[in-house]
Structure 1
Amino acid sequence: MVTPVQTKQPARMAGFPVVGNLPQFARNPIGFLTRLQSELGDVAAFSLLGSHLGKGQLRIFTA
């Protein structure tokens, strides 16, 4: 028998409506990802144009 497990969603960086974190990411991708890690930890999520990255998908970035 399989028992469902509730998983905790990763912390998410606040962004702008519609574009999400695109302006910060486009300006300085490495700086943005470094800031994301320093503020939210090793597992975090952010959004680009309505797509939530890090939620339900595995994305690995090393900075």
Structure 2
Amino acid sequence: MVWSAAHSLVTESPLGLGQVVTDYVHGDAAQKAAKAGLLALSALTFAGLCYFNYHDVGICKAVAMLWKL
């Protein structure tokens, strides 16, 4: 349950960004490279959010702390 916020953030974002790549990146090789970069960035983001959840305050508590400011 702890990683569900990280999972939902990282799962939904590449779907929309993949369409941006399809619309604005021209050339077959460039699209493949851009989609591979998007996949790598998504994997790194998920790993970072999981690390933040397990070794720091977590996503939800961090948002609550920011809201208090």
Q: TM-score if structure 1 supplies the norm length?
A: 0.28
Q: Which structure shows the bigger proportion of residues in strand conformation? A: 1
Give the number of the structure whose alpha-carbon radius of gyration is greater.
Answer: 2
